[in-house]
Amino acid sequence: MADAKRPTVLVSSYYFPMPTNPARWFHTAAPMAYCDSVRLAGGFPLVAPPLDDDEEAREALARADAVLLVGGPDIDPRSYGQEPHPEIKLLHRRRNDSDLRLARVAARSGKPTLGICGGMQALNVALGGTLHQHIPDVPGLCGADDHSLRIPDDNHHRVRIDPACRLARAMGVTAVEGGGWKVEGAEDDACASSPPHPSAIDLPPSTAVGPTSTLHPPPSTVSVNSAHHQAIDRLAAGLRAVAWSEAGLIEAVEGPADGPFLVATQWHPERLAMTPTGEDRGGRPTAGRADQLGIFRALVEAARESKT
């Protein structure tokens, strides 16, 4: 008989100095949007502090049913053999090493894993890939889209999603009469059919579509948010690109189609999956966009299945 308890999702955390005594004391915390999205999807979030060695990471994974790798500042480029760009804002070394360690151990363990923004980048680097350190410096990669952080709300743009991938199924991307696609539960302006995706030859090397990502019929386009200045450059072995910006920037990756749940997005579905309440927007949230909440539901469902 399956355990009736909610699946536990281990959530990686921020790590930063305490304002009252930054020379001595540090906080560890995770933005509530991640935790609330997990809860709305039927899971129980468990925030982990930095994990200082592989044994500790494996112990943390043994206590959880799934992993959520959250975003944050920039991974140290020396982690993938490069010197830092002047625009880099580095993670604290302890968190940098912990994020890469947790991503690597989680991926190798087969534990259901979701990476978001910096979490996707950590997953790629942990498995041997590299990053564009500052995408405005890469000609044509941003196109007409502004991917940078905007306060108080994110920038928004459209991405193309391989409709045959696991992410598309989680978001409710389905075929419609006439050869197009729709996203179940999304607002009319959140999704639309797009022209066929360019062939691998037409894409930059970092975004080439592999043989497991052949797109037919054409992919769906979905409105997402952005808050980043870095992106995947060389894709790690074992990952495949499944979503792209209009200019060809990799917006989502997955592990092998027949393997454990391993999905990551460059955008922030947690900010779209829930709707803040209260005068200060800090009250208990309600469900937001169904397609984005579906990503968390897929993670929780994969965690539930792994428990049986």
Q: How do residues 17-30 score in pLDDT, each as one tens digit?
A: 998 888 889 999 99
This prediction's pTM: 0.86
Rounded CA-CA distance 44/21 in Å is 32
Question: Are the C-beta atoms of residues 263 and 7 closer than 8 Å to each other?
Answer: no
How does the average pLDDT of the chain come out, rounded? 85
Binned at pLDDT 50, 70 and 90, residue 46 comes out as very high
Alpha carbons 102 and 122: distance in angstroms, whole number = 9
Per-domain residue ranges of the chain: 8-136+228-307
pLDDT at 194: 36
Partners of 116 in beta bridges: 265
* pLDDT at residue 70 tops 80: yes
Q: What is the enclosing helix (H) or strand (E) of 103?
A: helix 93-109
Pairing of strands 262-265, 113-116: parallel
User: Where residue 146 falls among pLDDT bands split at 50, 70, 90?
Assistant: low
CATH of 8-136+228-307, one of 3.30.230.10, 3.40.50.880, 2.130.10.10, 3.40.50.2020: 3.40.50.880
E-strand stretches of the chain? 8-11, 14-17, 26-29, 44-47, 66-69, 113-116, 131-132, 155-161, 173-175, 181-183, 191-193, 220-226, 231-232, 240-245, 250-254, 262-265, 274-277, 283-287
Kindly report the number of other CB atoms within 10 A of residue 152's CB atom.
5
pLDDT-based confidence at residue 100 (cuts at 50, 70, 90): very high
Q: How confident is the model at residue 139 (pLDDT cuts 50, 70, 90)?
A: confident
Question: Closest by alpha carbon to 147, among 132, 157, 138?
Answer: 157
Per-residue b or e along 207-237, where b marks 16 or more CB atoms closer than 10 Å to that residue's CB: bbbeeebebeebbbbbbbbbbbbbbbbebbe
For residue 245, pLDDT over 60 is answered with: yes
Determine the pLDDT at residue 205.
34
Query: Residue 33 is which amino acid?
Result: A
Q: Would you call 254 helix, strand, or coil by DSSP?
A: strand
